[in-house]
Amino acid sequence: MLIYRPQHVMATGQVLFHRFYCKTSFVRFNVKRIAAACIWLASRQGENPRRARDVINVFKRMEYRRENLTLDYLDASSMKKHPELKMDLIRCEGHILKELAFSCHVEIPHKLMVSYISVLGTHPKLMQESWNLANDSLRSTLCVRLKAEFVACGVVYAAAQRVHVPLPENPPWWEAFEVEKSGIDEVCRVLAHLYSLPKAEYLHVCKEDGSFTTMSLVTIVTHESKATEIGKMKKERLSKEREKIKEKEKGKGKGKGKT
């Protein structure tokens, strides 16, 4: 079973992923779990919600396929591990919302790109090539460094060069969309560098276990110990406040007795 979601949901999840790791470290948070939480958060943000079990099943299947293992779907009724994985998914979502300060609005370049090409009225091949480049641009940090209109114009410009479709240059077509040429050049430079790189390989750098399905006992114990410490601190504070109130009441009673 796969997570068939609209393109804007997948793109939103990728942008949230980039934003999160612009603020924190790959060493601190497991990439696989954060990726799953980004997809889960983006699906609800894009009004196409999926159950946590569906997201967990798909990421488990991807990990098993990468390691050439036999797939055994994770069933909530038969697998005791599922509640723990679901809680871990919720915790990761909480970390994402905290790091982003609950600012999860995302504007992807796909919608702008389609409107720009429709205004220009160019060849249909340009639309498909631009769409492919827009998807590939999400593999880079362009989505967090440049505005969506710059990326949209950049992929249209690069696609036009690849499929040899002429675009208006007198005046330049990008000026109609209030985009500077320097931004377009940056998008083309990043895409060219991206295509020159070798095939990406997963490298585990997180301090926790690299598996998606294996819960880290350190994480569970840390969360539980923190919760117990906070509970003890609250109880101690309440007891001190109650003692202070009792002392004040006793003092008031003694003062009235003397008068």
pLDDT at 152: 94
User: pTM for the whole thing?
Assistant: 0.72
pLDDT at 229: 63
Tell me if 156 sits within 8 A of 128, measured CB to CB: no
pLDDT lower than 50: segments of the chain = 1-4, 74-78, 215-224
Q: How would you classify residue 163: left for phi > 0, otherwise alpha for psi between -120 and 50, otherwise beta?
A: alpha
Tell me if 148 sits within 8 A of 115, measured CB to CB: no
DSSP code string of 56-121: HHHHHHHHHHHTT-------TTT-TTHHHHHHHHHHHHHHHHHHTTT------HHHHHHHHHHHHT
